[in-house]
Amino acid sequence: MSVAGVLGTGSALPEKVISNADLEKLVDTSDQWITERTGIRERRQAAPHETTSTLSTLASRRALERAGIKATDLDLIICSTISPDMPLPSTASLIQRELGAHGCCAFDLAAACSGFLFGMTVAEQFIRTGASKYVLVIGAELLSRYLDYKDRATCVIFGDGVAAAVFGPVDPPSGILGHELHTEGQYAEHLFIPAGGTALPASCQTVEKGAHFIKMRGNELFKVAVRSLEDVSRQVMKKAGVKPDDIDLFIPHQANQRITEAIRERLGLRSEKVYSNICRIGNTSSASIPICLDECVQSGRLKRGNLVLMSAFGAGVTWGAVLMRW
Ligand code: UT7
């Protein structure tokens, strides 16, 4: 059995910055409200010519180069996204074509903000059993395309961004030490896009009603998020025989700085162990954790031997945690 770890990371952010001041011109909100209630000061927005697959291809090339792996060496590509280029085919297929990763298997995975951790876990299983050697996992979202810029409850939160990581066999003690994933469908309507699927196919009426935009019950989600993120973080640490004090770096999904603070306090982690970029990037759903991971690797914040805890929560609702020795 092989131990799976990260061989290289890469990210790609659109250039256009949307500040809180920009949003003040669109909806009844204020820089003060957004900053105090979420910690977000700005987020990125993709240009019309950019798509989930084009930014993913860019991020993937960077990750492959840093991993020293050719696209043709990949056995599997998993693209975690809830904002695909189109309903059919999968965005992973488009990325595979652009990378020239002929012959490998590629599919999309929909677990919203927890998606990158779900993807990491799938990659770990394939590598550990020897079914695959090199797996590319991408967290990619262009949620601006699904945002109603008249709905202040959602348009201030979400941003666009993509990041990727190449996974492969590593030598212990490095590698993924544990993972824990959950889904609870009873909260499905806490965060959803009502139309565009088989339940409510696209029509003039669905467009008129704005039913293709993201709808969120932020307040209800907030409570579920804090409780489940604490529980799942403790579960993965307990299974691996690790205590919060042993963690060198905690990368939570960047949903809301107040959620991050609540988890940090509940787990008893010191502030300097917790990574946050929400003020610059906003909530990029499944791209949030890999963007943080890539920033930590490129800045040297993450050092060989560090114990990293990653926890996420999102629509579904889904939640999960992965523990990894860098
Ligand atoms: O990515 C994973 C899934 N998403 C989450 O985990 C999101 C979790 N939830 C949250 O982050 C927070 O609930 C929000 C940031 C979305 C909202 O913050 P909140 O403190 O829970 O606000 P609220 O929904 O309880 O609303 C409080 C007030 C309301 O006004 P009234 O009824 O008290 O007069 C809202 O209408 O704030 C108002 N409000 C705003 N005001 C200015 C809501 N959004 C805004 C806004 N600007 N953008």
> Do 154 and 265 belong to one domain?
no
Residue owning the nearest CA to atom 43 of ligand 1: 153
Nearest CA to ligand 1 atom 3: 314
Mark whether 135 and 64 lie in a shared domain.
yes
pTM above 0.85, yes or no: yes
Residues 25 and 143 in one domain: yes
Q: Tens digits of per-residue pLDDT, 86-123?
A: 999 999 999 999 999 999 999 999 999 999 999 999 99
Q: Hey, what are 197's tokens?
A: 């699927």
Report strand pairing: 76-80 vs 135-142: parallel
Q: Are 285 and 111 in contact (CB under 8 A)?
A: no
Ligand 1 within 6 A of CB of 152 = yes
79: annotated active-site residue: no
Q: What are phi and psi of 320, to 5 degrees?
A: -170, 170
pLDDT in tens, 219-248: 999 999 999 999 999 999 999 999 999 999
Number of domains present in the structure of the chain: 2
Spell 188-226 as b/e; 16+ CB within 10 A means b: eebbbbbbeeeeeeeeeeeeeeebbbbbbebeebbebbb
Contact 288, 281 (CB under 8 A): yes
CATH number, domain at 80?
A: 3.40.47.10
Please count the other Cβ atoms lying within 10 Å of the Cβ belonging to residue 29: 17
Both 200 and 125 in a single domain?
no
Residue where a domain terminates, one of 113, 139, 172: 172
How many CB atoms within 10 Å of residue 17? 14
